[in-house]
Amino acid sequence: MHNRKSKALEEQRLLKISIYAVLGIAIVSVTFGLWSRSGAITFDGFYNLTDAGMTFVALMVSRLIARGDDARFQYGYWHLEPLVGFVSGALLASTCAYAFINGLKGIWAGGDSIPFGPGALFVGTLAAVSAIMYFYISRSARGLESEFLKIDARSWLMGAVLSFSLCLSFLIGFTLRVTPFAHLAPFVDPLVLMVSALGLLPFPIVTLWRAGQDILQIAPPELNDQVHEVARAVAEKHRFSDFNSHVARIGRQHFVEIGLVAASDSSAKSFQELDRIRQEISDALGREGPGWWLTVDFTADKRWI
């Protein structure tokens, strides 16, 4: 219990740090983007604002999960984790789509002239900060098994890649102005906006896919194979005539149900012996405690499994 609480507190601490950092970067990015008339930098800022909002929601849900179950949610609040991931992915994917459309409009309108030099310096600094935050969150989150922190770390990585790409593009735009191709410079910003939007789109799509699998309770293949093999071995060892297993994952919560059917000529087993078989299964699976819901049923009638 103490370990569970300490992990929850560490998760919440990291999420708070991330929220403050993202908010600061977002406000500065939007301000600089509007001043420089750069749609790409403004998009980066609004993207970060959206991400900060979803990280705040993740923090609230993390606190609910740490509370455990109650009379209303008797399995706990684990089911909220993939819901937050799905909403976050949907919002960020929509932001990317909107930015791509704005980039197209910018090219159609003839582009825009922006201060590439200050822009390159600004986004280069953002790239460095985002990279530092990515490594910090990723390293600190090891062992916490938090989908929230995994999503947050991916967001920082996305921010670092975007800012670095913007920096390179602005340097190219700055160089174009002193070449015979100076007439192409105004198209750099909207083109970069489109490329950035397309480049970032796979990240929220992955988040949507993973969260959708949990919401639909699609059985994780590795866990399903492990549980099935353990159930088969136990059934053979203790001479059960048949067995069945079901698994599901919802966020960090795993649900495992195993049904064992006694042979028609077998004698009744004591409760102590049945509990020993349950413990044997639990030990074989190697997972116990919070985030792990194991049910083992014993019956003489195959209908019940």
Q: What is the pLDDT of residue 245?
A: 92
- Strand segments, DSSP code E, in 197-287 are 240-250, 253-262
CB neighbours of 50 closer than 8 A, spacing ≥ 6? 91, 92, 95
- Edge-to-edge strand order for the sheet containing 253-262? 240-250, 253-262, 292-299
Query: Do residues 28 and 87 touch, judged by C-beta distance below 8 A?
Result: no
Query: Do residues 247 and 121 touch, judged by C-beta distance below 8 A?
Result: no
Q: Count of alpha carbons within 13 Å of 140, Cβ hemisphere only?
A: 21
CA distances 237 to 31, 163, 204, 240, Å, are: 68, 58, 46, 8
CA distances 11 to 3, 15, 71, 150, 206, Å, are: 12, 6, 25, 11, 22
Does residue 114 sit in helix, strand or coil?
A: coil
Instruction: Return the amino acid letter for 162.
Output: L
The domains found in the chain, sorted by start residue, are 2-215 (1.20.1510.10), 221-304 (3.30.70.1350)
Residue 233 is encoded by which pair of tokens? 């071995």
Cα Rg, the chain, nearest whole Å? 26
pLDDT in tens, the chain (305 residues): 446 667 777 878 888 888 889 889 989 988 998 888 888 788 878 878 887 888 788 778 877 877 777 788 877 788 888 888 898 888 888 888 888 888 888 788 777 777 888 888 998 999 999 999 999 888 877 767 677 788 788 878 878 887 887 888 888 888 888 788 788 778 887 888 788 788 878 888 988 998 888 888 888 888 899 999 999 999 999 888 899 999 988 877 888 999 999 876 677 778 898 899 999 998 898 876 567 888 999 988 888 87
CA 85-91-96 angle, to 5 degrees, is 125
Phi–psi pair at 293, nearest 5 degrees: -115, 105
